[in-house]
Amino acid sequence: MSNFKKLEVVPKKVLIPFILVTSLFTLWGFANAVTDPMVQAFKKVLELSNSQAAWVQMAFYGGYFCMALPAAMFMRKYSYKTCILIGLGLYATGALLFYPAALSEKFWFFCLGLYILTFGLAFLETAANPYALALGPKETATQRLNLAQAFNPVGLILGLLVAQQFVLKKLKSDDIADFSSLDEASKILIKTSDLLVIRDPYVILGLVLIGVFILFAIIKMPQSKDENAMPDISNTFSALAKDRNYVLGLLAQILYVGAQIMCWTYIYQYAEGIGMDSVSAGYYQMVAFVLFTVGRAIGTYLLRFMNSGKLLMYFALFAMVFVLGTIFLNSTTGLYSLVGVSFCMSLMFPTIYGIALGNLTEEQSKVGSAGLVMAIVGGALLPKLQGNIIDIGGNGVSDILILGVSEVNFSFILPLFCFFYIAWYGLRISRKLFD
């Protein structure tokens, strides 16, 4: 027992590599946060419908889906370090593509940049989580991963601050009540200016990523990858498909990520529906991210005393209550409810992640974790569907009433369904009904 107590969470000999790996959690948190407000920014600048603007999220989270499994296959064959370097390279390339995209003024070009950017994020998330676990004693692996994950909300907050202070506040189109009514010459001038504003944070991010790439390249990283012969991949897929715990958890993760992105992306449209500007809405999203950070700390503490499935169920049930408030409580009170959802969501991703992989071997977990990263595709599909609901009455957010509430309010029935399934999943886990 005394020897266990002396075990270091992060051994001194791998402190520098661990700090570098931890920085990755911040970097992809930044990318996630800075992208959410861009949906509203592109909608205004390029005069898009809500469903068209949702292609931002489709491109961003679709990249995860397409590249997570190839990243896992690459990692099985090569080292964590190589996987991280490729991820950083793709991340930087996608961010720097915003420079020619702004010159072309083509929406698809920006979406292409985001798509390639998330190729890199898929490599980073697939490699960084298991690498953080491996950088030290197995007995302290969970503590080490929780420590690394604690820096993800830091990236979220930084990303939102950049989006709010250096993008949303500087958009000229956001200062005009009816941008579509302007003459074409005025529109062109404003569009050119605003697209350059959107471009700059991504280009700066790309240059920072090049610096991080160089650090990873020149600093010796411990080789933690198992070099033994790998089992046949088809057998691994077969075992995953038969594990109900994993399969149902995979669906839970898809729905969770979709719900998270919907609640964070459409906070701006919800605010628009009650007459609030995008900059002011950004402050509410900032509070949401702070609550998310606090909720993760409280949830992690409560896991010491409560079954993970039961706690997941409780958090999902509270999320449903807040979503119902978002739908039926109009004005600022409804916005408060939407912000409150973030506290409840904080625990869900890592808890579902841990539950889904709980019955798997190490080799199965490597491939299974890629599936859970691919589940981020929920963030591409469900926001697009929500955008379609908001567009039922037109390009506005409150064109018609559905069941007595505006279309933007009604659209939050989608995250309500997602949290219902997650609550059910948590209940089944708590009762140990899985084979």
Residue boundaries of the structural domains of the chain? 7-221, 234-435
pLDDT of 245 above 80: yes
Q: How confident is the model at residue 341 (pLDDT cuts 50, 70, 90)?
A: very high
Please report which helix (H) or strand (E) contains residue 406, including its range.
strand 405-406
pLDDT at 3: 45
pLDDT at 218: 92
Residue 86 tokens, joined: 């490729």
- Is the separation of the CB atoms in 219 and 201 below 8 Å? no
Choice among 300-309, 338-347, 405-414 with the minimum mean pLDDT: 300-309
Work out the angle at residue 27's Cα, subtended by the Cα atoms of residues 21 and 33, and round it to the nearest 5 degrees: 145
Q: Which CATH class is domain 234-435?
A: mainly alpha
Any residues with CB less than 8 A from the CB of 17 and at least 6 apart, and which?
A: 135, 219, 220, 221, 222
| CATH superfamily of this structure's domain 7-221 | MFS general substrate transporter like domains (1.20.1250.20)
- Provide the H-helix boundaries in 135-277: 141-149, 152-166, 184-218, 233-242, 244-265, 267-273
DSSP, res 171: -
pLDDT of 343 above 90: yes
Q: What is the pLDDT of residues 141-182, one digit of tens each?
A: 656 776 777 788 888 889 888 888 888 888 887 667 666 667
pLDDT at 424: 95
Phi (first) and psi of residue 184, to 5 degrees: -60, -40
The number of beta carbons lying within 10 Å of the beta carbon of residue 381 is 19
Work out the angle at residue 102's Cα, subtended by the Cα atoms of residues 98 and 104, and round it to the nearest 5 degrees: 115
Domains 7-221 and 234-435 share a fold: yes
pLDDT of 228 above 50: no
Q: Which residue has the higher pLDDT, 324 or 47?
A: 324
Q: How confident is the model at residue 432 (pLDDT cuts 50, 70, 90)?
A: low
Q: What is the pLDDT of residues 305-330, one digit of tens each?
A: 788 889 999 999 999 999 999 999 87
Top-confidence range, 32-36, 51-55, 307-311, 399-403: 307-311
pLDDT at 433: 42
- Is the separation of the CB atoms in 319 and 216 below 8 Å? no
Average pLDDT, the chain: 84
Tell whether the torsion through CA atoms of 37, 258, 30 and 348 is positive or negative.
Answer: positive
Work out the angle at residue 377's Cα, subtended by the Cα atoms of residues 114 and 363, and round it to the nearest 5 degrees: 110
pLDDT at 360: 72
pLDDT of 281 above 70: yes
DSSP, res 402: E
Q: How confident is the model at residue 2 (pLDDT cuts 50, 70, 90)?
A: very low
Choice among 22-26, 60-64, 410-414 with the minimum mean pLDDT: 60-64
- Is the separation of the CB atoms in 56 and 368 below 8 Å? no
One-letter amino acid identity for 289? F
Entry pTM: 0.78
Phi (first) and psi of residue 88, to 5 degrees: -65, -40
- Is the separation of the CB atoms in 198 and 167 below 8 Å? yes
pLDDT at 4: 40
Residue with tokens 């200062």: 175
243 Ramachandran zone, left/alpha/beta (phi>0; psi -120 to 50): beta
Phi (first) and psi of residue 110, to 5 degrees: -60, -40
pLDDT of 283 above 60: yes
Question: In the chain, what's the furthest Cα-to-Cα distance?
Answer: 76
pLDDT at 108: 92
pLDDT at 225: 47
- Is the separation of the CB atoms in 300 and 324 below 8 Å? no
